[in-house]
Structure 1
Amino acid sequence: IPWIHLQQKSEMPKAMYTQWYAENSCIRNYYSEEEFEELFSKFDLNNNSILDQHELARLNMYLLLNIPRIGLKSLGDKEYGGIPPAIFRLKSLEQLNLSYTAITMVPYQAKNLLELTSLNLGHCPLLEGISGDVGLLPNLKSINLNNCPSLETPPQDIVGRGVASVKAFLKRIAGGFIECHRTKLMFIGLGQAGKTTLLNALRSEKKKTEKTEDVELTDGIDIIPWIVPVEHEGRKIDITYSCWDFAGQTVYYNTHQFFLSKQAVYVLLWNMRMGFEHAGLDFWLSSVACHCPNAPVIIVGTQLDQIPMPDMPEAELMEKYPQIKKFCYVSSTAGTNIAELEQTLTNVTMHHCSQMTMKIPKVWLSFENGILKERNEGRNIMEWSLLRKCAINNGIYDDSDIRLAVDFLNDLGTVQHFDTEFLRDRVVINPQWIVDVMAKVVSVNEKAIKENLGRFYHSYIPEIWKDYDKSLHQWMLKLTETFDLTFPLPGEKEKYNIVPCLLPETKPLNLPWPYLSEEEEIREKTILYKFAYLPSGLFNRAQARLFSQGFTDHDLLQFLWKKGSILKKNQHYALVRQLNDYEMIVSVQGPRPKNVLDLIHETLTTLISEAFDGVHYDYFIQCPDCVEKEGTKEPFLFKAELISRAYSVNAPFLQCTKFFHTVSIGELLRIMPDNKETEFDAQMQESISTLEEISRNIAQDVAILYCNGDLPSLPFNSSTTAENAAGMTVDPRNIHEDLKKAGYKW
């Protein structure tokens, strides 16, 4: 019996709830309509006739625990995971559907189901693991593991790659596995917060460091290993951290985003002498939240030997950022609370990092040892063919298995692999190498690019990357382009790439906007985007991606700066600007600006879904009546989320609060960027509006009806027009030209 699962929406209006009940006969057989209505009222805590995502979660848990289902009465079953043992004696069974059940695992006894072709385990919230023997079933073609939030084996990343990857992983587990007690430890924070000093204190035997006045600033990212022995559940284990020490200077922020990992613990440092208001905590917490929304964070205040314990709004920050697990206050030079911080780190790691209990194939670690041997011999990068040979030598033969192992080692920080068309043929086996490659482009020690207003002339490459093999220079340049750190400008006499994060900080004084004069056929449309916090690098990556998609004109490059640019596409001009740390705005001028605005919106939303998945934002569109009827330059802005909600509850219109226009939902959908949910309605409204616009511009409708017998006998040519053939009968074939010459528009 199912519970409520919404594909895209995060809330459910009462009308949708009632419809869901009507469409699910299993629920109707268990609850009457009145009983199900009472459940809505019970879980609609704020009594607004809408169940938000938290209220839905509580309702679903109620449905899970209060409707009889497999596994519910045997939650402690460690042998069969709540699955009736008789199922594993059905040796001719071909399809097994255990979706929406309370099972906790699929045991090794599943190996008896040799004829099984389909296994449906979708929507099992308590399912933690599947025996590796399932991967050995010869006829298994389909495994559904959608929406199993507790699943650890196989890992969610592998589930997302499909059935073949899941089977390959389980097959390897069946051949022998080991628990992985390794993860990345990411030290982040503003410059001079004490990241390097704290890492040195943690790794030292005395748990303290010497005075640090002359410590050199970190240039890019430093990667250092650290092994910590701990006792966990009555046994001694070693946690191996790959410590990434991120430079705190703002110039590096655009490169940091490429190395923030979901499988990591984050230590966010701030210098308590600055005060937490100036420590950039919101910036860093938002960056982690949008790239790695489930990664645990520990906030560490430094310089405790120089300042008393601060009055920190810990509860407020933890409510805003649930990823925060602990606040600590230390002095690295005095050693104050360093040992306690280490204990906190290991506790958070063991309890909040799923990979700590993940079972991985032993051959993967053998493969890793082979890679580390190559690294120790001085190799930094391997072609895929050589890496494949290394995998085969260590017992991994299938290409899909090799890719799974490489992805796993990528998450651990052993390798860096970029799975794009141009880059996938090489694997970086020394992550410090690739970090340095990226940092060289924006390094505080490399001034040539910044002094040339963000122009990375290709003639600079031999100097900037002088420490790297020349045969890799073009691959390295393509790497910066693939991740929107730079973008090329074709057609120039001297080739160069633009580095958006090194563009001038200030807006050009002579910025020509509006770019086009106000004419009858020229219109302007605007979208305002509001973020909970605009992640570092998002705007500059959007600039790079728009230019790479043809939004460019060489004459407009003089109006390109770090927080804005004028773009050109299909005879339309667009002004794209970052207003502050929370807002960006896009305005487009031209005959049909909505089309270009849709392209820019799609580019931005695609970038966010690919690289900034955890970011929270909404966008606002202009009130059409404010623009067309009032002619104001500052129209009321409708929130897109409000329009979508109004549409979902069948509201007929919304009202702007500036001039109090009443605007139909259909009209608002028409001017919103394309949305799959409302695409048909929007296209219909667009067609109606286009016809209405044509109708407004027509003074008279004229129909000319005639038959061939009534046509004049003279040949049809320009000499037969009424203007030069006075007295002749009007020729209907020439009426069009006659009216145009008389000054009428056709």
Structure 2
Amino acid sequence: MNIEKVKKQINNFREHGWTSLDFRNCGITHIPAELFENPNIVFLDFGNDLGIDIKYQNKINEIPNEIGQIKRLAKLNLENNEVIKISDELATLNRLKYLNLKNNKLKQLPEKVANMEQLDVLEISGNPFDILPPEIASQGIDSIRNFFRELKDPDYLYEVKLLVVGEGRVGKTSLSKALIDENYSLEDETSTEGINIAKWNVPQEVAVKYNPEIKRDLLINIWDFGGQEIYHSTHQFFLTKRSLYLLVTESRKEDSHDDFFYWLNIIKMLGDKSPVLMVLNKCDQPVKELPIKEYQNNFDNIKDFDKISLVGLEPHKSNLKAFRDKVIQKATNLPHIGNPLPKVWVDIRREIEELKSNGKNFIPLADFELLCSRYYLSEERADFLSDFFHDLGVFLHFKNDLILKQVIFLNHEWVTKGVYKILDDPIVIENRGIFTDKDIERIWKDSEHKPKTVELIALMKNTKFDLCFKVGSNKYLVPRLLPVDQIDYLWDKDQTTAKFEYRYKFMPKGILTRLIVKLNEDIFENNYWRYGVKLNHENTFALVREYYFENKITISLIGDSVKEYLYILRKNIASIHKDYNELEFKEMVPCSCSYCEKSKKPHFFEFKVLKKYEVSGKSNIVCDESVEDVDVNLLLSNYGKELSKRKLVVCENLNAEILNSLGFLNLDFLPEKDSFTVFGRVLSDSQIIGIRDKDFILDSEKKAIESENPNYCILNYYCIENYLYHPDNIEELQLQGFDKESYIEDIKKYKNEKILVIAQKLDKARSTFYELKIHGEKYRDEKNSTKILEKLRSDNFFDFYEFLNMKDYRKNYLGKFNLNQDCLSSTKWFKDSIENLLIRKVKVNI
């Protein structure tokens, strides 16, 4: 346990009244009871970083009833814990706007929690829910609420996806046909191009033998994947969770261990915990032995290993029947079989299948919305269903793509065959992946794909596939068809200023080619081949190389903005990694000791290890090569230290509570006693943002201070109350009997009554501003200071209001409306005003 961090946070809570507390990576097992004593706490973070040492992992397993006592709680983060139970009292927190429960052990989600009106963000993916489909859980709060609403009338979808994978020419297609047809006779099958999809209907009287809960026929959709390596480009987007896998080889084929480990790893990363049946086909011929125990020791989702033959003779015929029964048994007992779905979704699903059966390969989005409207689903609810069907693999709909959003591809097989007509074209292959508009016309001239040329090319370019990019007005390039041999390029190793590496336990094929597509605009003078690319961005060069057989990707950088461009590279690689489940890799940074800086083969530290040192408060780490002490902070700052998910914003004491209540997802507002302390924190740490009241600071002074301190923000009005009591903010509340002009007149009256008092303390107040005191003429614009009083004497609202202290406003006119701070800070106008101020002045991403 990180006792010191826990003590510090509790101390800040008790002695300083902090309302935003960070217990991340502290190794605690329950929410500290002391916290329930203060209803004013706004933000609690009990999350864990992935990969953190076990002794620092929080293992909270319950959100207790006492959580309801923290009435002002706006944000609660418990990601990567062990929560199995949520108290219904959580739903009584009517200010809670952000709740993160990702990667816990929840089987049930209280519907009343999902339906909390003020909750803006609900993160619950990665939990083993009994009813809530993972595809819905990952789509966000609106989709979750919609699911609960639709589930009032449930039905059951008895449908399974069976994925048949393996290298080419091992009999996958023949086996697929033999499963469907018990009387299938072995014949010479053509090699599968892309994907073949077939339906296997298992009668209810057969399926019920293995699962008595099944109430109708079981539909097994068999996806037969082509084995050639180029087809792996799209396979990875159709290998899904909650499926059954057959990994097929044949007795004659001399598959290497690498082939099996490739497929088993791909299934593990894309299929998650989906069961795998390994199959040795053509066992009537001389049989090779496979180290099945070794595979099972490494992949616990391998459920069995069978040897079969399709020759139709005994005992092979009996073995095949037994294997067929085993497939049915495994399929009928997949965890999602029998889970309820909204009946209307099941009905629409059946209509979509009927469209496919009638030869429809795609439909306009408008047709899908019309279909949904016949079942009384609004356009918004149809949109949620589209997301679910896309994630489930019912159809393809890329609604965030400007070109693709208006079309729904019903037939995956049709899509992939169209794509591979281009990828398999001899002329395109000979041209090393280059194809033109004329090539597209030639390839699809007499094809059923011609009417959707624009959409299919857009799909190939889509960030989900990253198959190609445009290289001219009418040319495209497929990086996976580039030459494998390294080209000649210029790179000065002695001038390299930063290196970074990804080292994988298993590296999926195509990571670098997808990166080339994503960053194609940065490619420097066509310097690329299948396993490398040279990039240029704002006078910064990067050389990125893939060493497939060494399971690593290396990055070398030179230039003016090395750290910034490395962040861009890491961000794009991370987006590719997200497509894989539990992809195991290490981020490595080179040592900067005196020996390693001169060495051609420096020692590399694992980034995660450096983070552990940072969390533990250890400032130095020993280089294995030189045995020198190396500064951990220097290593992290120079080589892509991870940007925090949240930014720390220090502000004057009472403002923190108000600003935290707005629920900005990555901003934590912490109170300091005055503006002097806020500015001191900003000067001492460039990673901290400071925000203070404007008071009597001139706009010219504000501009000078902020330009030299980009992490410092000064309000546009005297204080935060000027925003709360601004006439535009009050107007948004739509109070009955409120008249904006009368309200402004009341503020003007208050100002005129206070003008002499303000004039008397103006100079003295300005002399206390720390920013103006320590930098003197650098910031101070004394010659224009008289303009403050001139503006205050004006009766023009827009002149005087920025310097009027609304903390002391009597609120005579507003008294009859009985307004409180919670009400005033709940408006869109107030939130937008603060958000725009921070974005514009501090350039943070809210």
TM-score, normalization by structure 2: 0.62
Q: Is contact 2:202–2:217 with CA below 8 Å preserved after alignment?
A: yes
CA distance in 1, matches of 2:601, 2:116: 66
1:661 equivalent in alignment to 2:628: yes
Q: Is contact 1:608–1:615 with CA below 8 Å preserved after alignment?
A: yes
Partner of 1:670: 637
Post-superposition CA distance 1:179-225 (Å, at most 9, x none)? 2210211111101122111112211224x642x4x321111110101
**Shift, 1:649, TM fit:** 1.7
Q: Report SS of the residue matched to 2:396.
A: coil
Letter in 2 for 1:387: F
Query: Which of these residues, 299, 306, 309, is aligned with residue 285 of structure 2?
Result: 306
Closer, same or farther: CA 590–155 of 1 in aligned 2, 3 Å: same
**Shift, 1:248, TM fit:** 0.3
Closer, same or farther: CA 336–275 of 1 in aligned 2, 3 Å: farther
Post-superposition CA distance 1:546-585 (Å, at most 9, x none)? 21xx3123xx32x321111222222232221111241111
Partner of 1:152: 130
Partner of 1:222: 196
Post-superposition CA distance 1:629-655 (Å, at most 9, x none)? 752222111111221122222222112
**Shift, 1:336, TM fit:** 5.5
Partner of 2:33: 25
CA distance in 1, matches of 2:552, 2:140: 37
Q: Is contact 1:251–1:501 with CA below 8 Å preserved after alignment?
A: yes
**Shift, 1:335, TM fit:** 3.2
Closer, same or farther: CA 623–118 of 1 in aligned 2, 3 Å: closer
1:402 equivalent in alignment to 2:382: yes
Letter in 2 for 1:195: K
Closer, same or farther: CA 23–417 of 1 in aligned 2, 3 Å: closer
Query: Which of these residues, 320, 337, 340, is aligned with residue 338 of structure 1?
Result: 320
Closer, same or farther: CA 546–684 of 1 in aligned 2, 3 Å: farther
Q: Is contact 1:456–1:498 with CA below 8 Å preserved after alignment?
A: yes
**Shift, 1:530, TM fit:** 0.7
Partner of 1:636: 603
Q: Is contact 1:523–1:593 with CA below 8 Å preserved after alignment?
A: no
Q: Report SS of the residue matched to 1:244.
A: strand
**Shift, 1:425, TM fit:** 1.5
Partner of 1:478: 458
CA distance in 2, matches of 1:633, 1:665: 21
**Shift, 1:326, TM fit:** 2.4
CA distance in 1, matches of 2:26, 2:87: 33
Letter in 1 for 2:570: H
CA distance in 2, matches of 1:563, 1:465: 30
Q: Is contact 1:189–1:195 with CA below 8 Å preserved after alignment?
A: yes
Q: Report SS of the residue matched to 1:354.
A: coil
CA distance in 1, matches of 2:585, 2:127: 25
Partner of 1:41: none
Q: Is contact 1:105–1:129 with CA below 8 Å preserved after alignment?
A: no
Q: Report SS of the residue matched to 2:306.
A: strand
Partner of 2:420: 439
Q: Is contact 2:158–2:218 with CA below 8 Å preserved after alignment?
A: yes
Partner of 2:242: 263
CA distance in 2, matches of 1:104, 1:338: 48
1:524 equivalent in alignment to 2:493: no
1:191 equivalent in alignment to 2:191: no
Taking the TM superposition and a 5 Å limit, the aligned residue runs for 1:310-709 are 310-314=289-293, 316-333=294-311, 334-335=316-317, 337-351=319-333, 353-393=334-374, 395-422=375-402, 423-443=404-424, 446-466=425-445, 467-468=447-448, 470-482=450-462, 483-490=464-471, 492=472, 495-508=474-487, 511-514=488-491, 516=492, 522-547=495-520, 550-553=521-524, 556-557=525-526, 559-581=527-549, 582-609=551-578, 611-626=579-594, 630-677=597-644
Q: Is contact 1:135–1:168 with CA below 8 Å preserved after alignment?
A: no
Partner of 1:703: none
Post-superposition CA distance 1:286-334 (Å, at most 9, x none)? 22222232322222222222234724242x3233223323222222334
Letter in 2 for 1:355: H
Letter in 2 for 1:590: G
Closer, same or farther: CA 125–413 of 1 in aligned 2, 3 Å: closer
1:162 equivalent in alignment to 2:140: yes
Post-superposition CA distance 1:65-99 (Å, at most 9, x none)? xx9x89xxxxxxxxxxxxxxxxxxxxxxxx9x9x9
Q: Report SS of the residue matched to 1:310.
A: coil
CA distance in 2, matches of 1:530, 1:432: 34
Closer, same or farther: CA 349–684 of 1 in aligned 2, 3 Å: farther
Letter in 2 for 1:644: K
CA distance in 2, matches of 1:136, 1:598: 35
Q: Is contact 1:180–1:355 with CA below 8 Å preserved after alignment?
A: no
Partner of 2:838: none
Q: Is contact 2:161–2:220 with CA below 8 Å preserved after alignment?
A: yes
Letter in 1 for 2:563: K
Letter in 2 for 1:418: F
CA distance in 1, matches of 2:322, 2:94: 52
**Shift, 1:430, TM fit:** 2.1
CA distance in 1, matches of 2:523, 2:450: 30
Letter in 1 for 2:480: C
Q: Is contact 1:564–1:576 with CA below 8 Å preserved after alignment?
A: yes
CA distance in 2, matches of 1:375, 1:338: 30
TM-score, normalization by structure 1: 0.70
CA distance in 1, matches of 2:116, 2:564: 51
Q: Select between 384-393 and 339-348 the one with higher mean Cα deviation.
A: 339-348
User: How many residues are paired up?
Assistant: 591
Q: Is contact 1:105–1:128 with CA below 8 Å preserved after alignment?
A: no
Q: Is contact 1:527–1:586 with CA below 8 Å preserved after alignment?
A: yes
CA distance in 2, matches of 1:562, 1:336: 47
Q: Report SS of the residue matched to 1:385.
A: helix
Q: Is contact 1:178–1:359 with CA below 8 Å preserved after alignment?
A: yes
Q: Is contact 1:523–1:591 with CA below 8 Å preserved after alignment?
A: no
1:283 equivalent in alignment to 2:262: yes
CA distance in 1, matches of 2:609, 2:105: 35
Taking the TM superposition and a 5 Å limit, the aligned residue runs for 1:32-71 are 51=54
Letter in 2 for 1:403: D
Closer, same or farther: CA 684–578 of 1 in aligned 2, 3 Å: farther
CA distance in 1, matches of 2:301, 2:125: 21
Post-superposition CA distance 1:410-439 (Å, at most 9, x none)? 355432222322212210122221121222
CA distance in 2, matches of 1:436, 1:295: 26
**Shift, 1:617, TM fit:** 0.6
**Shift, 1:138, TM fit:** 11
Percent identity over paired residues: 19
**Shift, 1:247, TM fit:** 0.3
